[in-house]
């Protein structure tokens, strides 16, 4: 099981060596990616048996690898088992083969467990090719962090509530399959594309952990002395304190995401310290010192109830997800907010193409 400390406040730890996708073996040492196919258009490399990776269209580079745009290679025979052989756009996640903390196969197993869930990208392929482990999933739209930037880093009460309502539903589903996510943050929630653009998807299960044995229903035991796993900015207080994470910690992170969107930031952002550990301790000090009342000041009182409920959950408690969503619905009623999928970005992005193919 991975147990990885974080290195930066809003970034998950980068444990892998930096690498570039290349069709040339550097110094003839590493096995090379397949060279561009003579028959395929420029910038495309056949990967994962059925797909073409466009190495000029990077979708993101996370802590553990890089993600590229790709398509199903419809010129191939025998592809009818993949989306009926129809043109399909995908995201291709690469991880260097032999990475210190390989996570892609683990991630693919979790996608299989979550298969067919609402807001879960479909997994098309996972395997090793050349010097990369490769994971192929549905292409999605921009992340909530991208959209937050797009909207000048403030979301209205309506947008924040609509988002968090979906985030709770996603995490409830993940929990129902016996996993906790452990890296809840706006970068790991992406909107869908085309007719799925109102659905918020959850991705990035590299740090996820099974918290319950599916056969015995036994919850993992309480432990402490653990190193910080996840992303400091959104980590729960107990995670900072080294306590084993459970369902409550995913929810506490969702609560911080809510306040991040509403306030335009969190009081523990921008903390500086010479050593990383010192920085994390300072962040947690501020988290502990900031009362729920002051964190939520200026926003509907019910949000305080929401946060208190989450902070009061015990280690192995099953959160009452419906109760939390009910609080959001009550706020919505009070402020005449309709769950109509009219987000702050909806009008603005109508004629806007996000990072080329992201929308």
**Catalytic residue positions, numbered:** 183
Reported as type and span, the H/E element at residue 55 is strand 51-61
Q: How far is the CB of 291 from ligand ADP (least distance, A)?
A: 32
CA 281, 285, 289 angle in degrees (round to 5)?
Answer: 175
Residue among 146 and 204 whose Cβ is closer to Mg ion: 204
Binding-site string for ligand ADP from residue 77 to residue 96, where x marks contact by CB under 6 A and - marks none: --------------x-x---
Q: Which stretch binds ligand ADP (CB under 6 A): 73-81, 203-211, 273-281, 307-315?
A: 203-211
- Residue 206 contacts ligand ADP per CB under 6 A: yes
> Using an 8 Å Cβ cutoff, are 138 and 59 in contact?
no
- Residue 208 contacts ligand ADP per CB under 6 A: no
- Can you spell out the DSSP letters for 274-339? SSHHHHHHHHHHHHHHS-HHHHTTTS-THHHHHHHHHHT--TTPPP-HHHHHHHHHHHHHHTT---
- Restricting to residues 33-72, name those near ligand ADP by CB under 6 A: 59-60, 62-65, 67
- Can you spell out the DSSP letters for 79-133? -TTTGGG---EEEEEEEETT-SS--HHHHHHHHHHTTT-TT-PPEEEEEEETTEE
191 binds, options Mg ion, ligand ADP, none, Cβ within 5 to 8 A by partner type:
none
Q: Which stretch binds ligand ADP (CB under 6 A): 20-28, 37-45, 200-208, 313-321?
A: 200-208
Residue among 185 and 240 whose Cβ is closer to Mg ion: 185
> Using an 8 Å Cβ cutoff, are 123 and 228 in contact?
no
- Restricting to residues 48-87, name those near Mg ion by CB under 5 A: 62
- Can you spell out the DSSP letters for 147-191? HHHHTTT---HHHHHHHHHHHHHHHHHHHHTTEE-S--SGGGEEE
Encoded tokens for 105? 């196969």
Residue 196 is given by DSSP the state G
Encoded tokens for 28? 């003839």
349 binds, options Mg ion, ligand ADP, none, Cβ within 5 to 8 A by partner type:
none
Q: How far is the CB of 174 from ligand ADP (least distance, A)?
A: 15
CA 230, 303, 293 angle in degrees (round to 5)?
Answer: 90
Q: Which stretch binds ligand ADP (CB under 6 A): 139-147, 149-157, 163-171, 239-247?
A: 139-147
- Residue 204 contacts Mg ion per CB under 5 A: yes
Residue among 110 and 296 whose Cβ is closer to ligand ADP: 110
Residue 212 zone, left/alpha/beta (φ > 0; ψ -120 to 50; rest): beta
CA dihedral (163, 168, 90, 355) positive or negative: positive
Q: How far is the CB of 349 from ligand ADP (least distance, A)?
A: 15
Q: Which stretch binds ligand ADP (CB under 6 A): 17-25, 110-118, 165-173, 184-192?
A: 184-192
46 binds, options Mg ion, ligand ADP, none, Cβ within 5 to 8 A by partner type:
none
Report the candidate in 40, 101, 96 with the shortest Cα–Cα distance to residue 73: 40
Q: Which of 119, 121, 130, 230 is the binder for ligand ADP (CB under 6 A)?
A: 121
Query: Where on the chain is the footprint of Mg ion (CB under 5 A)?
Result: 62, 188, 204
Query: Where on the chain is the footprint of ligand ADP (CB under 6 A)?
Result: 12, 59-60, 62-65, 67, 91, 93, 121, 137-140, 143, 187-188, 190, 203-204, 206
């Amino acid at each position: 099981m991975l147990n990885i400390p974080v290195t930066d406040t809003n970034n998950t730890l980068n444990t892998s060596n930096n690498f570039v996708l290349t069709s040339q073996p550097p110094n003839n040492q590493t096995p090379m990616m397949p060279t561009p196919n003579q028959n395929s258009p420029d910038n495309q490399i056949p990967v994962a048996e059925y797909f073409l990776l466009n190495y000029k269209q990077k979708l993101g580079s996370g802590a553990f690898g890089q993600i590229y745009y790709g398509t199903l290679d419809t010129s191939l025979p025998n592809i009818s088992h993949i989306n009926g052989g129809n043109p399909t756009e995908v995201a291709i996640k690469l991880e260097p083969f032999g990475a210190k903390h390989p996570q892609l196969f683990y991630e693919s197993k979790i996608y299989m467990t979550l298969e067919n869930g609402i807001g879960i990208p479909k997994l098309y392929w996972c395997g090793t090719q050349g010097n990369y482990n490769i994971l192929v999933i549905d292409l999605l739209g921009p992340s909530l962090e991208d959209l937050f930037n797009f909207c000048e880093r403030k979301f209205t009460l309506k947008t924040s509530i609509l988002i968090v309502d979906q985030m709770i539903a996603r995490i409830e589903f993940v929990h129902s399959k016996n996993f906790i996510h452990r890296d809840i943050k706006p970068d790991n929630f992406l909107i869908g594309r085309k007719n799925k653009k109102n659905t918020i998807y959850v991705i990035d299960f590299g740090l996820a952990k099974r918290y319950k044995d599916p056969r015995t229903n036994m919850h993992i035991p309480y432990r402490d002395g653990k190193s910080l796993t996840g992303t400091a900015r959104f980590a729960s207080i107990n995670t900072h304190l080294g306590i084993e994470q459970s369902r409550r910690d995913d929810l506490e992170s969702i609560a911080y995401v809510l306040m991040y969107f509403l306030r335009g930031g969190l009081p523990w952002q921008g903390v500086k310290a010479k050593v990383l550990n010192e920085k994390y301790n300072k962040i947690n000090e501020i988290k502990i010192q900031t009362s729920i009342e002051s964190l939520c000041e200026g926003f509907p009182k019910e949000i305080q109830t929401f946060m208190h409920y989450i902070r009061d959950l015990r280690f192995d408690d099953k959160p009452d997800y419906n109760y939390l969503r009910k609080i959001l619905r009550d706020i919505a009623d009070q402020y005449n907010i309709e769950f109509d999928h009219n987000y702050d970005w909806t009008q603005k992005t109508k004629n806007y193409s996000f990072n080329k193919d992201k929308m």
